[in-house]
Each structure stands twice: as C-alpha cells, then as structure tokens.
Amino acid sequence: MSTATTLHLAPVAPGDRIQAMDVLRGFALLGILLMNIEGFVGPLMASTSGVNPALSGADRIADLLVYVLVQGKFYTLFSLLFGMGFAVMSQRAEQAGRPFAGVYWRRGLVLLGIGLVHAIFIWAGDVLVMYALCSFLLLAFRPLPHRWFVGLGLGAYVVPVGFMFMMGALGSLLAGTEGWDKTMGEMARHMQALIEAERVAYGSGTYAEATVQRLKDTALALSNITMFGFIVFGMFLLGAWFVRSGAIARPAEFPRLYRGLRWVALPVGLLAMLGSVALAPTMDMATFNLRLSSAFALQLLANLLMCLGYVAWVMRALQSPFWQRPLSWFASAGRMALTNYLLQSLVCTWVFYGYGLGYFEQLPRAWQLPFVFVVFLLQVVVSHAWLSRFRFGPMEWLWRSLTYLKPQPMRRQSA
C-alpha cells in the first residue's frame, strides 16, 4: 500500500471499485423506479396496499407483475448495498490504520440531511432518512466477527415477521368485538383521509401545499422505523457480510452460496410471494387478521429471498462474456446512484404533480412501465457520458466532500 493511501481516508478511486457493486446499484435503481412510479403518478399511501382491485386488463397485469417481482425486493437490495458500502469503508480504514468513526458519523449525518431535504421538499417516499438513522447502529457491530453477521442480520429481519403474526393472531381473536372493530374502522378512515389529502395536495395543490403534505407523510413514515428499521438494519448486516467474507469481490470462491441463492432462494421466494397474493392481494386496513398478517409475513420472506436470488443471478451474468458489456452500462448508473435516485424524484414529481406538468393520476398503470424504462435508459446514457469526464456524480461529490471535510477533485484528469 502506498504512503499516500495511509495518510488519510478518501473516496474509493474508480480503479479500486468493486464493479459488481456498481452493477447491482444500477440494477437496484431500475427496480426502485419500477416500485416507486405508482407513488409518483398517484397518492403515495395508495401505492403501498398491494394489487389495486379497481384495475383490469393490461393495467391489472402490470400492477400484479410489479407487486410480485419488484415491490419490496429492491429497497431490500438497496439496503444490502448500503451495508456493503459500510464494510468497504471499514476495511479501507483498517488497512490505512486510521480512525473510522468520525468519518462515518459525518457520512451518516450528511446523508440524513440530504434525505430530509429530499423527503420534505421533493418526494415523501424517501428511504435515505431511514438508512441514515439505521446506519449509525452499524458502528456498534463493526468489531464483531463477520461470520456473526448472517445470523444477526436474519434475526433482525424476522422481528417484524413475528410481530405481524402476533398482531394478526390478536386481530383474529378480537374480530367482532366492538372495541377492535371501532379501532380498525378508525384506522381505515384515517388512511383514506390521508390518501385524499395527498390527492389534493400533490394532484392540484401549490408547491407550498405539497410541501406541507410531504412533511406530514414523512413524519408518518418515520413512525414506522421500529417496524421497517429492523428489516433495513438486517439487510445492512447481510451486506456487510458479503463484503467482509469476500463473497461479493470473489464470487468464484463461493459457488455453493450463489448456486443455492439462484436455484433455491429465488424459486422459494417467488412461491412465497405467490402465496401472499393468493391469501390477500390487497392489504385492507379495515380488517387485520391472521390471514392478512400471514400474507404480509410471506411477502417479507419473499422480499428477502428474491432479493438475494436477484443478486446471485446478476453475479452469474457478470461472469458471462455475453453479459459483461451491457451490464457495464448499469455500473455507470450505479456509480451515480444517489444522484440518479434524487433525479428520479425530481423528474417524476415535475411530470406528475400539480405544480409541475400536472399529469397526476393520468398515466395508466400499464404505461407506467415503459415510462420507467425510458427514464432509466436516459439516466444510463447521461451517467455514462458524465463519468467519462468526471470522477463522481454531482450529489456523490457533495456527499464525499462534506464527509471528508475537503472538496474532492471532480474532473478525471485532476484526480
């Protein structure tokens, strides 16, 4: 290792990056937009309830495909990749013999600030705030042997599953009682009122009115951190294991792992997701019982297994000469993942919200998918062109400069 490397911590040089992680980030960006587009086109809260029973024909097929193959699988993948990034930073700090906690705290605080700006002033479906808040806990687990991370990560992930079963069992026991039915009815009315408020604020409101609504939606989303925070943190730990074990950098040394993820985890996850749809394709807030909680638990299980299965198939494709070149374009988008993620929100809110072009609730569900692929293709092309001249995306440059308390060289020739 050179003397320059040991003097201070700095962003990973382009030549030192793990390409598989960049490809996975690009792949995750496509999935994130496929998942989020429904929450851009219409009310955000209405997009989280499963298959829309009002749809038919091509719209229903598109909605079902996204729900089964995409919904929930890609925020888990993003979480996995965040854990990988933490482990890469940690390893580089150890190799350089430099303190790590201060840099990591600044990194998390900067991400928290970016996430809050995104959630309140652009789009309330932000995930960065939750990622930043959960990321601080990773420091406490850094000294542990990496072989513990799989068990701890899976343990954290299944906590919400157990909680959902308990709530479902309670709902089945109390169903029909006056107090329970009244409570569930109030929750359903509150959710419907929230959806209608979003419809007014985002569909026809001014930017100021939409910002007030985003503030309310963000507060509601953060109230669920005790539930989804376990899922996010569990995926962080699994991602850290992939890096610290060498599985992401040296996949050829882990053939049984990736074979199992491709041919066991993915099919089992798909069956679990189909089982969830069969039990309850739409999550009804007015009735919460064991059947509904079982459907939700199966969905959470499917999200984990299918996410890992997708990772394994991407890693397999990267070993194929036929797929390496086209997947390298995903890597360009992945190297600018933060910029592209925020840009998706800027473009989509401008197109669909009332203070923009005003196409709110006007793009049919089936046409949302081609829209996503066009937007993502443009992002891939722009990312490739940008990185031919610059080391980082604009937001990546800002994040790194604030993290390391020093403006980073932006142009490739000045690095």
Q: pLDDT (tens digit, 9 = 90+) per residue, 188-203? A: 898 899 999 999 999 9
The predicted structure's pLDDT at residue 415: 47
The predicted structure's pLDDT at residue 12: 53
Band the pLDDT of 6: cuts 50, 70, 90.
Answer: very low
CB atoms near residue 69 (< 10 Å):
15
The predicted structure's pLDDT at residue 7: 36
Residue 237 CB partners (closer than 8 Å, separation 6+): 83, 138, 141, 149, 150, 152, 153, 156
Question: What mean pLDDT value characterizes the chain?
Answer: 92
Residue 248 CB partners (closer than 8 Å, separation 6+): 18, 20, 21, 84, 242, 315
pLDDT score of 13 more than 70: no
Band the pLDDT of 299: cuts 50, 70, 90.
Answer: very high
Band the pLDDT of 11: cuts 50, 70, 90.
Answer: low
The residues that bridge with 282 in the sheet, in sequence order, are: 50
Span 167-174, mean pLDDT? Answer: 86
pLDDT score of 3 more than 60: no
In a domain, 120, yes or no: yes
pLDDT score of 2 more than 50: no
In a domain, 8, yes or no: no
In a domain, 265, yes or no: yes
| CA atoms of 76 and 73, how far apart (whole Å) | 5
In a domain, 349, yes or no: yes
| CA atoms of 248 and 227, how far apart (whole Å) | 28
pLDDT score of 272 more than 80: yes
pLDDT score of 153 more than 90: yes
pLDDT score of 101 more than 80: yes
| CA atoms of 237 and 151, how far apart (whole Å) | 9
In a domain, 3, yes or no: no
Residue 121 CB partners (closer than 8 Å, separation 6+): 211, 214
The predicted structure's pLDDT at residue 100: 87
Span 75-91, mean pLDDT? Answer: 94
Report the b/e string of 356-391 with b at 16+ CB within 10 A.
beebbeebebbebbebbeebbeebbebbbebbeebb
The total number of structural domains in the chain stands at 1
- The better pLDDT of the pair 181, 59 is held by 59
Q: Are 32 and 341 in contact (CB under 8 A)?
A: yes
The predicted structure's pLDDT at residue 31: 98
pLDDT score of 178 more than 80: no
Span 135-154, mean pLDDT? Answer: 94
Span 297-322, mean pLDDT? Answer: 96
In a domain, 366, yes or no: yes
The predicted structure's pLDDT at residue 86: 94
pLDDT score of 28 more than 50: yes
Q: Are 346 and 122 in contact (CB under 8 A)?
A: yes
The predicted structure's pLDDT at residue 107: 95
In a domain, 373, yes or no: yes
Span 266-275, mean pLDDT? Answer: 98
In a domain, 220, yes or no: yes
Classify 353 as helix, strand or coil: coil
pLDDT score of 174 more than 90: no
| CA atoms of 113 and 122, how far apart (whole Å) | 13
Classify 311 as helix, strand or coil: helix
pLDDT score of 67 more than 90: yes
The predicted structure's pLDDT at residue 181: 80
Of all residues in the chain, the percent with pLDDT exceeding 70 is: 95
| CA atoms of 404 and 297, how far apart (whole Å) | 41
- pTM tops 0.85, yes or no: yes
The predicted structure's pLDDT at residue 16: 57
Span 393-411, mean pLDDT? Answer: 94
82-86, 283-287, 342-346: range with lowest mean pLDDT: 283-287
Span 40-50, mean pLDDT? Answer: 94
| CA atoms of 10 and 403, how far apart (whole Å) | 9
Residue-range definition of the domain harbouring residue 399: 27-414
